[in-house]
Amino acid sequence: MGVGALRLSRFLRLSAARSIPLVLAMFLPLSLGPFLLPGKSTSQPASRPGKGGKRASDPGQARTQPFSRALSSDYPALLFFFFSPRNSMVKKPPPPPVVQLRVAAEGRHPHFPRKMIRKPTTLVPAGSVVRVKDKEGRYLGQGFYNPRAGLSLRMVTWRKDEQVDLDLLSRRLEAAVRLRRDLLRLDRVTDAYRLVHGDGDGLPGLVVDKLGKILVVEVRLLGMQPFLDGLGRRLKKLVPNQGMVLVTEQRAAKVEGLEPPPPPPQDLEVEVREGKARFLVRPGQGHKTGFFCDQRDQRLQAERFARGRRVLDLCCYTGGFAVHCALGGARSVTALDLDEKILPQARANFRRNQVKVVLKKGDAFDFLREAASAGKEWDLVILDPPAFARGRGQVTAAVEKYQDLNRLAWKVLAQGGLLLSCSCSPPVGPELFLKAVRGAVEGFSGLARVLATGGAGPDHPLHLHCPETRYLKTVWLQKER
């Protein structure tokens, strides 16, 4: 007999031997009926006599009990062996509730508005993980459901064999970190970059920015909140020696019903590096997570273009573009922002990099109108305004604003000059934004060259089926006769 057969034979004999006590434990109480098994002897106080003058129990009398009860009290180790989890079936948690669409899902767009979802027949708590079925009842996958939000359903997985749990989200978190660390190798250029980019990394509602020695974790979906503790522990192992700050955007908190975490300390400040530049950043404060990591590639490009040019940086925020242009050898740099509270941080960044920048407070539209009337010109103009549209209902007005702003900028741009125009409005797509820029220069004579179009860096990956993830659009133009 072979070795394998001997092992199998031995396994079967042992299994049979181990099964005998279990069978006895299960069936002896039924077959033996009144037969009892002696229990432990205990001394108890005398009780009142029963019928016939006999006591119900006497001191020292041995108590008797059924075999099954004796087994559980006198032989706990034996009971544990046969009824331990490895020898019994583990009860699985109930499956997630079902949410059904009113439509047949086409493509793999991960967002579904409330009007495309049938009202569940049973109560589904906001933020629940749900199984998703289409109009015909076909299973599609799993996602986060929040009936109070405009986009009520966010798909997490389209695979039938995947469950939305901490294990799945942790694997995606690990993949996101590997992308930045091993493939993009961003640490060679900067220590300020996006580590997790929501839908683009398969982690809807979760954004993580690495800002120097601090990780800023931003949660945007109620469904992601229950997984934060587990993902936070995993994140600390993947990216050790980092502090961590948790933030929630005010608008997201209102829409999703999130409870905002306590604000980070006001005095929390770190230095980040980006190429030759150094910036003081307050993690979790100001706009976004405290620093616009998405404009890194455009800032470095502006530095290369700036040599010998007169630069105008509009909506400068903490002075990122202005610093890079000054370090790139610009002849002069003027920076403008409407937010008076952010100007001291911009000045601190200018001092830290030992660059000369003229910093002004004002509205970009008003400044450009006055500059055009005065006949002023610049060789490089940077337009990086805040979002003009958050929803589709604001798109038309936003396009008009982009067209007006770019027209004013084109007026103050010298011949041979460069214009960097940006839009971070999610519902304004690349083609629509380019149409607005095209409309802005149509009334001018001469040539408008498009040198490059782009957006955020590769640490902000796009979801192939969700064009809204390309929220940042950029275009470089040159003005020629």
Q: Which residues are catalytic?
A: 424
Question: Phi and psi (nearest 5°) for 157?
Answer: -145, 145
Residues in the chain: 481
Q: How many CA atoms lie within 13 A of 281 on its CB side?
A: 29
Token pair for 85: 């989890």
**Cβ proximity of 324 and 275 under 8 Å:** yes
CA distance 155 to 198: 12
Map residue 168 onto helix, strand or coil.
helix
Token pair for 440: 């802005």
Strand partners, 271: 280
* Residue given tokens 């009290």 in the structure block: 73
* Residue given tokens 């004999």 in the structure block: 13
Question: Phi and psi (nearest 5°) for 347?
Answer: -60, -40
In 3D space, the residue among 284, 377, 278, 280 whose CA is nearest the CA of residue 331 turns out to be: 377
Residue type, 393: G
Residue type, 204: P
Token pair for 121: 């027949």
Cβ-based neighbours of 369, under 8 Å, separated by 6 or more: 408
Segment holding 361, helix H or strand E: strand 358-361
